[in-house]
A and B are shown apart, each in its own frame.
Chain A
Amino acid sequence: MNWHAVKRQLNGWAILSFLAILLIVLPGIVVLIELFAPVNDNWQHIQEYLLPRYVRNTLFIMLATGVLTTVIGTSLAWFVTVYDFPFRRFFKWALILPLAIPPYIGAYTYHGILNYTGVIQTTLRNQFEITVDQSYFNIMSIQGTVFIFTLFLYPYIYTITRAFLHNQSSSMIENARILGRGSWDIFFTVVIPISRVAIIGGVSLVLMEVLNDYGVVKYFGIQTFSTAIFSTWFGMKDTSSALKLAGTLMILVIAILMMERLVRGRKQFSYASTKVKPLKPRPLHGWHRYAVFAYVSIVFAIAFVIPFTQLTAWTFLTFDTVFTAAFWQLVWNTVRVAFIATMIILLFALIIANYTRLFPSNMTRVISKVTTLGYSIPGAAIAIAVITLFLWLDDQVLSLARLFDLSQTFVFRTTLIMLIFAYVIRFLAIGYNSIESGFEKVGKSFTEASRMLGWNTVQTFLRVDIPMIKGAIMSAFILVFIDIMKELPLTLFLQPFNFSTLATQAFKYVSDEKIHEAALASIVIVLMSGLLIFVSHKVLDKEAD
């Protein structure tokens, strides 16, 4: 490479991208450094007596949730794509809605429905004078955890697999039909093998969510990596061991990601072809029709209608006590912090995506990979790494102030900066993926045309690139905003004193056993997410057309 090639690579886009990436990897570096630091007695104790249990529980939950979400998500995607049954068009997008209910809200709602004072047992006692064995109704177990995760995370697999089947498989499935294969046969011999890559992509998203979760396992009292990190950190006041746990967890995540890569191999996960012929759904007759309808309805009822109805009922019950000026403050806090973080993420994502697109090289490939890494690091690991980093930063600021004899009292850890920083690390990947695929769809020739007409890269970016990928930016905004609004572990541990969001306030009520009071905040989250999910699918559908 000659020197003006180097000069061309080292432009404003590159420098800004490097800075953004540096911020992203900093906490990861903190965790990795601690992983190799000398161990203390606590760690030995954790490693010997506790770690095996954390690993066992975490792996069991991951395995069981992975299998169940795959079965439910794939079968739903198959039914909705291939068959025509009553209300198919409604279910097509309604089956995504459980994604609007964060698992921790689902968890306490189902606990509230099933426990001794819940609607089921009360009705059985009062109307039918039946008292049931409590152990049948105890959801606060490891199986209950799997049940909750399955219900509220299957849409990840459903949406990806459905999109794949819808766009990719029509000719293959039609051919298989012409060759005289039956439906079951086609499902197992054609559909599963060809959509394997899509399904694995969905499952890895589910597993990342499971590893990230803190709300469900904390509420159900299940010891996993997430709860272990926080209890070591707050309970034992042992940051060093907590960081080691976070590092171990990160290694687990990287192992999953590498496994996914291995299984995927060189197979393309996205569909590049523009000549897609959607599959025409086939009408079902007789009992098949009702069986499919019943199955789809039952999943939708359990994963959305029942918890949503229960939350609505509780909301009416407690509305007067909860709906106060303080509640508006919560909504404002939630929207404000999510909005600021989302805008920063979009800015970073646009800059990095534009850089990696305009100057492709090995370096930009690495940058692109690193950008998406944050999403796979569980919240617990990010939280402790970010706090450690900011404590160090505050120390530096304070000692610098002392050096100049200033009565400096500003510290980062009392501000929202820390929380927003953590959001950016965790959710940059979501914004980046969406914007990157927008750029990919548009191609480079419009940018080149603009440059040939005398505009430089920055002017082109503002006048051509951004207007051209408006749709992708819009859907990136929605996806990131929803995720931040629902986010629990980071917000719980990094929010400044006297600051709460809808999510953390709901969780606080629940932790104080005020389940009914948590309903209003929860339902606002569910309604806002549901609405945004609906809008984003409309946007995406329009984009696809």
Chain B
Amino acid sequence: MFVQINDLHFSYKGAHEETIKGFSLSITKGEIISLLGDSGSGKSTILRLIAGLEMPNQGVVVVNDCVCCDDCQFMPPEDRGVGMVFQDYALFPHMTVEKNIRFGLHKLGRKERNARVEEMLALVNLTEFRHRYPYELSGGQQQRVALARALAPKPALLILDEPFSNLDTSLQHRIRDDLRRLLKQTGTTTIFVTHDEEDAEALADRIVYLGEGKIKKQVMTENNKTFNPQIPCFV
């Protein structure tokens, strides 16, 4: 499996009850997974645990044969090769669109870096907006910058936290189709969190229903027919 999560447990400081109670999930390469659940079901927490922004009480996270955390090691987020699009996008306000995208490419050589920035700008259709600052962009454009920034370093796994929550409905529909096309085009393995079933149906190959910190059920979507299903599903 490309991403393997085993028996993840987590509780916030001072809380008596665990927020995540034994979460396990396997993901094949290139698959798009949606974590669906009500607020408080722990779906964003799972993303933060995979990203390395929170430390689990116990459990194993393996991404692309690289052990991100288990009982005796914890890899900091910057070394995991996981990309993340934040709910509020978290675009650096003191940097232009181009600089935001360039930010994560410090490990590449100069030439490669420039080429990659151009590629990403073209991919999200923002080449002519490269010198704008984030506050000069619309919500949809900001989201595309955030996506381009996260995809630029070619992360093994991309995670998106409520990617459509800041967009109005008509924009939401268009963008989720674009997003799916883009993710498939780049072959990016993706996990995204949402509370909207329609979003999940439209974008994901597989929907994971979450409740009380555990998986309630998993369902393959219609999209999955175009994707090669290798995972048993429990409808």
Residues of A that sit less than 8 Å from B by CB? 2-5, 7-8, 360-361, 445-446, 448-456, 463-464, 467-468
Contacts and interface: CB of A to CB of B under 8 A. Distances in A.
B153 interface: yes
- 9 closest Cβ pairs, A-B complex: A453-B104, A449-B90, A445-B90, A452-B84, A451-B77, A4-B74, A467-B94, A451-B78, A454-B78
Nearest to A452: B84
B99 to A, nearest CB: 11
Interface residues of B, number: 32
B202 interface: no
Contact of B55 (A8, A454, A463, A467): A8
* Chain A facing B: main interface SS: helix
Given A2-B71, A4-B72, A4-B74, A452 B92 contact: no
Contacts of A5: 55
Contact of A464 (B83, B86, B92): B92
Interface of B: 13, 51-53, 55, 57-58, 71-74, 76-79, 82-84, 86, 88, 90-94, 103-104, 106-107, 149-150, 153
Contact of B103 (A2, A3, A445, A450): A450
Contacts of B153: 453-454
Given A8-B74, A445-B88, A464-B92, A452 B51 contact: yes
A452 B91 CA distance: 12
Contact of A452 (B73, B74, B83): B83
B76 A451 contact: yes
A13 to B, nearest CB: 13
A448 B90 contact: yes
A468 B52 CA distance: 23
Contacts of A468: 92-94
Contacts of B57: 2
A471 to B, nearest CB: 11
Nearest to A362: B13
A4 B55 CA distance: 9
Nearest to B103: A453
A473 to B, nearest CB: 13
A449 B78 contact: no
Contacts of A455: 78, 103, 106
Contacts of B91: 449
Contacts of B71: 2
A132 to B, nearest CB: 63
Nearest to B161: A445
Contacts of A361: 13
A453 B149 contact: yes
A448 B107 CA distance: 18
A451 B53 CA distance: 9
Contacts of A4: 55, 72-74
B208 to A, nearest CB: 22
A7 B150 CA distance: 28
Given A454-B78, A455-B78, A463-B103, 12 more contacts: A4-B74, A7-B74, A449-B90, A449-B92, A450-B92, A452-B77, A453-B83, A454-B79, A454-B104, A454-B106, A454-B107, A456-B78
Given A360-B13, A361-B13, A453-B104, A448 B94 contact: no
A360 B12 CA distance: 11
